[in-house]
Structure 1
Amino acid sequence: MAKATLYYAHDPMCSWCYGFSPTWQALQEALIERYSQDQLQIVYLAGGLAPDSDQPMPAEMRMKLEAIWHRIADELDATFNYEFWQNNTPRRSTYPACRAAILARHDNKEAAMISAIQRAYYREAQNPSDTDVLLGCAVAIGMNLETFAEALNSEETQSQLLQDITLARSLGLNSFPSFALVLDDAIHPIPLDYRSTDNMLRSIATHLSV
């Protein structure tokens, strides 16, 4: 079997990615159990929902996003702390959180960073658009605070994020979360199922068995 790569496009501040996270964790565990690293590699791509911005989020967008949180809570039984909308000045700015995930990737802590950001954002009503929140997440997962702080907004880290975004787009991953399986230079979209791993496992297995 030729080695395949499963690309997972996400954004740490994407509420649907947060709602999908338990199923995504279960899917990863099933894939790791079923396939060796020589058969299948799993790669995260930070999709970059919204560039850096210091502008407060318009009231209309705040209302829209809060409504989406309620929808995800109802459909996927996800837990949200709605005090976020009263305790913060939200900004449409997810690039900082994406860069934090990329920095954690270098320490093999990417999944831990994403989880820490989601916990801070959705459960603790903190704003991951703010640098101090991301610094707290870095400390929580055991990263070197000085090194992380220095690199978070560097040109090199931003360049790595833009490379992730470009690769995601080239694979047709224009929404988050989404998957693409690449095997022998062929790109195979994997249909997403928020509630069950069964269909996704079946789709991946079908391509890998060819």
Structure 2
Amino acid sequence: MTKLIYIADPMCSWCYGFGPELKTLLDGVPELRFEIVLGGLRAYNKQLMDEALKTTLLSHWGKVEATSGLPFSQAALSHKDFIYDTEPACRAVVVARMLAPETALDVFHAIQHGFYAEGLDTTQGDVLAKISVAVLNKAGIDLSAQDFLTTWSSEVAITTTNDDFLQTQRWGVTGFPTLVFERAGELYLVTSGFARTEVLVERLQTLVDQTSDS
């Protein structure tokens, strides 16, 4: 069995920049199974956003914007008493994966767009529910925002999200985005960090060829 595993965080700026590259890759290999594992970039963070952290983050965002051409809004970092905790957003993607696995990446990308392009506070359950349910409903999943919030707040969602973080740590993944190719239970690195689609295609083809011969 072969598949691609994407280890990422919806509130990671380089993951946001990587989105179009990944989508183009996946569109070209529709037969390849795909799984998303949430990494927990700043999971459980309790630190209030201060000007020093905001300045640092905006510097990173500027580099991602220049590289990817994607839109960024500074408003996301200006919410009152904002705490950059990425666990709630990761959990929303986990809930989508639980309810309808085929929507998980779309929910992931929708949360990214909400945070980075629209400046929404994606640490808040009601915001995450609205974003996620819009994607799920479009995919034909009949679910209300309250239904989503009930699952998002559940112990199983909280535990499953933490399990993703622990799996990421067991794999030794410390940076996002990370994309790996799995064949027969073995993992092979495609990229650790941002890469263009043509690079991903070349690396993936090399891995397919190498592992097919082994």
- Identify whether the pair has TM-score above 0.5, normalized to the shorter chain: yes
Alpha carbons 1:88, 1:127 under 8 Å: kept: no
Structure 2 counterpart of 1:86? 78
Whole-angstrom CA distance in 2 between matches of 1:50 and 1:191? 21
Structure 2 counterpart of 1:11? 9
Q: Which amino acid aligns with 2:26?
A: Q
> Is 1:139 aligned with 2:152?
no
Map Cα deviations across residues 146-202 of structure 1 (whole Å, 9 max, x no partner): 221112122211111122122223333221100121212322111357452222222
Structure 1 counterpart of 2:122? 128
Structure 2 counterpart of 1:66? 58
How far residue 5 of structure 1 moved from its aligned partner, in angstroms, is 2.1
Whole-angstrom CA distance in 2 between matches of 1:191 and 1:114? 19
Q: Which amino acid aligns with 1:20?
A: F
Matching residue within 22, 29, 33 for 2:27 = 29
Whole-angstrom CA distance in 2 between matches of 1:138 and 1:196? 27
Whole-angstrom CA distance in 2 between matches of 1:176 and 1:45? 11
- Larger helix fraction of residues: 2
Name stretches of at least 5 consecutive residues in structure 1 with no aligned partner. none
Please tell me the root mean square deviation across aligned C-alpha atoms, in Å: 1.9
How far residue 135 of structure 1 moved from its aligned partner, in angstroms, is 1.9
Whole-angstrom CA distance in 2 between matches of 1:130 and 1:144? 16
Whole-angstrom CA distance in 2 between matches of 1:207 and 1:70? 33
How far residue 144 of structure 1 moved from its aligned partner, in angstroms, is 2.8
> Is 1:207 aligned with 2:201?
no
Whole-angstrom CA distance in 1 between matches of 2:133 and 2:187? 37
How far residue 55 of structure 1 moved from its aligned partner, in angstroms, is 4.3
How far residue 53 of structure 1 moved from its aligned partner, in angstroms, is 4.7
Whole-angstrom CA distance in 2 between matches of 1:193 and 1:63? 22
Whole-angstrom CA distance in 2 between matches of 1:55 and 1:207? 41
Structure 1 counterpart of 2:33? 41
Identity %: 25
Map Cα deviations across residues 12-56 of structure 1 (whole Å, 9 max, x no partner): 111111111110110111121xxx3xxx32110011112235542
Structure 2 counterpart of 1:158? 158
Structure 1 counterpart of 2:104? 110
Q: Secondary structure at the match of 2:182?
A: strand
Q: Which amino acid aligns with 1:8?
A: Y
Alpha carbons 2:92, 2:128 under 8 Å: kept: yes
Q: Which amino acid aligns with 1:44?
A: I
Q: Which amino acid aligns with 1:49?
A: L
Q: Secondary structure at the match of 1:109?
A: helix
Alpha carbons 2:14, 2:193 under 8 Å: kept: no
